[in-house]
Structure formats: C-alpha cells, structure tokens
C-alpha cells in the first residue's frame, strides 16, 4: 500500500477534497456569530401592601376633593343666578286661585324675568320653584318625586308641562279660547274692552300671531259706530287700531254732549219765543207785568189774601195777562 501523506492523501497524488470537513476559513461556519449570554435578571422585590394602600387612599382623596370643588362651584353658580333672578322682582305663586289666568300670568312673568336676567335653562327650575308658596309648594314637592324619583335634575320643559297640566288644563284653555273669539265691546268703553282683549288673547295665540291679525281681531269686536270709522283707517298694527278707537270714542262723546247742550238751549229759546213773555230779572222766569214771585199773592187777581187755587174772582185785565205764569212758592 503506498504511503499516505499527513493530509490523508496518498503520496504522489493530489489530496481529495472532502465534504463538510476541512473546508477551511471559507466554510459556512465563518457566518456564525456567537451571541453573548444576557446577565441574569435581578430578583424583584415583593409588593409592599402598605404602599399600595397609601396610593389607593390618595386616589380616593383626590376624587373627593374634586367632587367637593365641583359641588362648591355648582352651589356658587346656583346662588349667583338665584340672586340675579330675585333682583328681577319675580312674583310668588300660591296656587289657591280658581282663575287659570293667574297661573298663566305668573308663568309668563317668571319667563320674562329669566329673559331679563339671562338665567340659563339649567337653573330655571330652581329659581322658579323658589317662588312657590302654600298649596303650590306642596304640589311641587309631590310632583318632583314623580318626575324624578331618584332625585335627578328636572328640566324646565318638564316643569312647565307639569305646571300647565295642574293649573291650566286643556278644557280650561278651550273655554278661554271661546271667550276670546266671542269677545266684543257691547257698549263698554274702549279702555275696558281693550283690557279684556289683552287678557284673553293669550289663550288663542294662533289667532293673534301677527300684529296685523291682532289689530284686525280687535277692530271686529268694536261697537258698530266706532268699528266702521276705524276700519276706514285700515290700521296695520294693534297700537294704531287702539289709538284710533279711543279717538273716535272721545269725538263721539264730545259730539253727543255738544248736541245735547245745543238741543236743550234751542228748546228753551223756542219755548220762550212761543210764549212771547219777557224774562223777569227777579225770579228768572218769563211773565208779564209785576213779579209776584217774592210775595205770596194770587197770580189771577193780584190780591195777597188768598192763593190762585182759592180765587173765586175773575180777576182784572192785567191779571188775565198774568194767567199761566210761574210764581215761586205757590202750587197754583
């Protein structure tokens, strides 16, 4: 057997290239990089229950503080809006009147104060219910528990709905609407008619939803004599119609007074003219010859010992001329 060399080949032959072994530095192993081994993790300390409890308590305290601040802020705002609301001089409501217009007028007055004081809707219920007294206050205490059993906030819309249902029900609304549609002056003064018109028109808002329709409805209820004159003016607003009606009423009243005075004067003058007797400066009446008004004498014969009713004589020529004249203090 020929001798082998150190590389494993036979002497005198080139060495054979093997697979997998002896590839030298260009083999696949030179791509392998040995990763460093990470150090062992440090042991974690056991949780401290005391520290966890402290953290939890701090969170609770922070929440309570935030809630208190929020409540304090809310209370401050409520006090501010209530103070501003009271400056508007709102009316109280007792709920004891049988007239439904009292309840409606109160509600309208409260909303007017809201508008004047810029009261936000979130605070309107608190402000309005602050003005309730007696029966109305008891009603709200019971109604509030029905609307919000859990004590939550009640909206202004909910309050108005409950209030209207209690103090201004639908059947009353219909009755008041009918009263308004049938309203007329009927011999009353224009001022009285206008006051009743303003009182009832709120019950039929669809009939007076414009100033022109309000004026037209008002004119239709005037007495015929005034209405015809005002209609000729064709007022476009309620204010113009009311002013015209009052003016015509004043002119008509003055004309009637003047006509009556002139008529009486003319009748008096006419009677004097027909009588033909001069006016006496002593008694103020019209008669002939001597005035017997200051003495008690017979106006038939002129004698002072008896009255005309007891006179049996025919009287004189002059006394005949006095016949029929008025003598103060006598019944004859």
Residue 301 is predicted with a pLDDT of: 72
List Cβ<8 Å contacts ≥24 apart for 299-304.
299/323, 299/325, 299/327, 299/330, 299/332
User: Does the structure show a pLDDT above 70 at 274?
Assistant: no
Distance of alpha carbon 163 from alpha carbon 138, whole angstroms: 13
pLDDT tens, residue by residue, 2-36:
555 555 555 555 555 555 454 545 545 555 556 67
The answer, yes or no, to whether residue 182 has pLDDT greater than 50, is yes
For the residues 266-274, what does the mean pLDDT come to? 55
Return the closest-CA partner of residue 230 out of 221, 239, 219, 238.
219
CA distance 43 to 54: 24
Helix (H, G, I), strand (E, B) or coil at 63: helix
Within 89-237, residue ranges assigned H as helices are: 100-117, 124-129, 134-147, 156-167, 170-181, 190-200, 211-220, 224-233
Under the banding of pLDDT at 50, 70 and 90, the label for residue 132 is: very high
Mean pLDDT of 263-288: 63
Residues in contact with 78: Cβ distance below 8 Å, sequence separation at least 6, in sequence order = 123, 126
At 270, list the tokens.
Answer: 């006419």
**Lowest model confidence (mean pLDDT) among 170-184, 197-211, 231-245, 283-297:** 283-297
Q: Which range is least confidently modeled, 172-176, 213-217, 291-295?
A: 291-295
- Say how many C-beta atoms besides its own lie within 10 A of residue 116's C-beta: 14
Who wins on pLDDT, 318 or 200? 200
Residue 127: closest CA among 119, 115, 135: 119
Domain ranges of the chain: 72-168, 184-271, 278-332
Closest C-alpha among 117, 116, 128, 132 to residue 81: 117
Contact 149, 160 (CB under 8 A): no
Give the integer Cα–Cα distance in Å for 122 and 119.
8
Taking the CA atoms of 231, 233, 235 and 239 in sequence, report the sign of the dihedral they define: negative
Residue 116 has pLDDT above 70, yes or no: yes
Sign of CA dihedral 162, 164, 169, 170: negative
């Amino acid at each position: 057997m020929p001798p082998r060399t150190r590389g494993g080949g036979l002497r005198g032959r080139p060495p054979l290239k093997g697979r997998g072994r002896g590839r030298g530095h260009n083999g696949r192993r030179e791509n392998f990089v040995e990763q460093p081994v990470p150090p062992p993790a440090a042991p974690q300390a056991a949780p401290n229950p005391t520290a966890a409890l402290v953290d939890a308590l701090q969170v609770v305290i922070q929440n309570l503080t935030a809630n208190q601040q929020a409540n304090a802020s809310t209370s401050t705002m409520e006090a501010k809006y209530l103070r501003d609301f009271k400056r508007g001089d709102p009316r109280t409501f007792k709920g004891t009147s049988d007239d439904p217009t009292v309840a409606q007028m109160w509600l309208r007055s409260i909303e007017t104060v809201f508008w004047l004081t810029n009261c936000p809707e979130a605070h309107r219920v608190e402000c309005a219910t602050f003005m309730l007294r007696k029966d109305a206050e008891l009603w709200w205490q019971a109604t509030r528990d029905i609307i919000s059993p859990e004590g939550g906030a009640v909206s202004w819309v909910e309050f108005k709905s409950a209030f209207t249902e209690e103090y201004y029900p639908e059947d009353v609304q219909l009755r008041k609407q009918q009263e308004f549609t049938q309203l007329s002056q009927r011999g009353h003064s224009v001022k009285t008619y206008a006051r009743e018109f303003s009182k009832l028109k709120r019950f039929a808002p669809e009939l007076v939803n414009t100033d022109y329709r309000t004026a037209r409805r008002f004119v239709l209820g005037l007495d015929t004599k005034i209405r015809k004159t005002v209609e000729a003016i064709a007022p476009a607003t309620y204010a113009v119609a009311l002013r015209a009606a009052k003016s015509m009423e004043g002119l008509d009243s003055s004309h009637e007074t003047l006509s009556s005075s002139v008529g009486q004067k003319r009748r008096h003058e006419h009677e004097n003219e027909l009588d033909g007797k001069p006016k006496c400066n002593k008694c103020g009446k019209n008669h002939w010859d001597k005035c017997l008004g200051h003495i008690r004498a017979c106006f038939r014969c002129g004698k002072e010992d008896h009255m005309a009713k007891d006179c049996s004589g025919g009287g004189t020529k002059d006394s005949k001329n006095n016949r029929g004249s008025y003598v103060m203090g006598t019944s004859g």
